[in-house]
Amino acid sequence: MSLYPSPQVQPRSWRGRVVWFMVAGMHRRIDWPLLSAVAGLSVIGLLLVWASTAAGGDPAASMGFVRRHLAHLGLGAVVCLAVAAVDYRVPRAYAPIIFVLAAVGLSLVLTPLGAVINGSRSWIVVGGFQAQPGEVAKIALILGVAMLLGEPRDGEHAPTTRDVLGSLVALAVPMGLILLQPDLGTAMVLGAIYLGMLALSGAPIRWVLGLVGCGLLGILAVWWFGLLKDYQLARFATFVDPTADPQGAGYNANQALIAIGSGGLSGTGLFRGEQTAGRFVPEQHTDFIFTVAGEELGFLGGALIIGLIGVVIWRTLRIAAGCDGPYGRLVCVGVASWLTFQSFINIGMTLGIMPITGLPLPFVSYGGTASIAHLTAIGLVLGIHGRYRAFH
């Protein structure tokens, strides 16, 4: 069966022909298991946002959250499909501009336009508009590092020392601005993205080992010189000993375990969780949304979410393995590193195996900038997949 539509049914205008050919080839350009897993997570997330916000007893407020989240998902889906439809070299061409815009956004956060939420100045708030530039910085870092490490010069087959040093500068700019907020969670995600991309770029292993060593020394230096805020120290202290302050810094972690444990195998059912209804877990529609899944959907529901995230990561890495060029491969590796690390940290903190950080669960947690950023990343992967499928 031909990939292209019959000449008898093609639109007459050139714009119509472009759209028609894109739609006609969509079944071949899109990785359907990946897109289906993302759609499944988004639907589950929408239901969990509804269940977690309905717990307050205010239907109007709850539906407001649901409508806003649905709008975020709709906008993210449009951006995802738009990015997937264009040649993957188009985002690469705009990578320097995206990087500069992300750096400017991170700088504005440190001005009076920035707002302090949950202890860190991570948001730009202008009237009713809110944005988190740190999410844009993740995409900017992936595109920038892929451009620097994934395009060897003539005669080279792997990144040179100059390429690696340039990529380290690209990492240092957003990470430095984010640490000034301070937002350790987002900084760790940037570090994980870069480490994953560097490790699979073909760069000498000494760079990877050196980066890990510098990271460990940096953590020790931050701790030794007392650079952490009091609330950050309290989070680490309660992670080491959850019983140290059960009504204070350890409250979130303890209540998260109680909520998840009360769900059992199959859960209490949506809108029937006592812990969720009592709002015993703070931020249960954002950072702690997995506790709602654990209580109301049980072990099976939590396993389904983890399984779908696993499908997203697996398909992304499979697309990376099928790339002929290093640039596309590194973009996919960066996205997979991002989603893997952030999902592990988010779910791990609700289970008590990781310290509390302000990182949302990809595709599931309520959020505007984060939801759009996650879907944009999937659009990048789909665009790369479509490009290589078109020539194989």
Q: Determine the Cα–Cα distance for residues 143 and 268; give it in Å rounded to an integer.
A: 43
Q: Per-residue pLDDT averaged across 364-392, rounded?
A: 86
Rounded alpha-carbon distances, angstroms, from residue 391 to 15, 20, 83, 120, 384: 23, 19, 19, 46, 11
In a domain, 168, yes or no: yes
Q: What is the pLDDT of residue 225?
A: 66
Question: What pLDDT digit, counting tens, does each position of 96-144 carry?
Answer: 999 999 999 999 998 888 887 766 678 888 777 788 999 999 999 999 9
Using DSSP, state whether 314 is helix, strand or coil.
helix
Residue 270 clears pLDDT 80, i.e. is over it: yes
| Per-residue pLDDT, 235 | 67
Q: Using the 8-state DSSP alphabet, how is residue 8 labeled? A: G
Please provide residue 241's backbone torsions phi and psi, each rounded to the nearest 5 degrees: -135, 90
- Provide the domain count of the chain: 1
135 occurs within a structural domain = yes
**Who wins on pLDDT, 27 or 303?**
303
The Cα 356–Cα 10 span in angstroms is: 55
- pLDDT-derived band at 237 (thresholds 50, 70, 90) equals low
Q: Check residue 135 and give its pLDDT.
A: 94
- DSSP of 53-116, one letter per residue? HGGGS-HHHHHHHHHHHHHHHHHHHHHHHHHHHS-THHHHHTHHHHHHHHHHHHHHHTSTTEEE
Residue 6 lies in a domain: no
Distance between CA 97 and CA 92 in Å, rounded? 10
What pLDDT band is residue 257 in, cutting at 50, 70 and 90?
confident
- According to the model, what pLDDT value does residue 242 have? 65
Of 3-7, 38-42, 96-100, the one with minimum mean pLDDT is 3-7
Is 10 inside a domain boundary? Answer: no
Residue 19 falls inside a structural domain: no
Asked, for residue 240, whether it belongs to a domain, the answer is: yes
pLDDT for the residue 86: 86
pLDDT > 70: what percent of the chain?
82
Task: State yes or no: pLDDT of 192 exceeds 50.
Answer: yes
pLDDT one-digit tens code per residue, 56-68:
667 877 888 899 9
Tell me which of 299 and 25 has the higher pLDDT: 299
339: domain range? Answer: 32-389
Q: Which one is predicted more confidently, 356 or 229? A: 356
Q: Which of 67-76, 181-190, 346-355 has the highest mean pLDDT?
A: 67-76
Evaluate whether residue 14 is within a structural domain: no
Q: Say what the pLDDT of residue 21 is.
A: 47
Handedness of CA 289, 294, 296, 298 (dihedral sign): positive
CA distance 313 to 338: 10
Task: Report the percentage of the chain scoring pLDDT > 90.
Answer: 46
Confidence of residue 8 (pLDDT cuts 50, 70, 90): very low
Q: Is residue 20 part of a domain?
A: no
Residue 2: C-alpha distances to residues 7, 23, 192 (Å): 12, 13, 42
Answer whether residue 78 shows pLDDT above 80.
yes
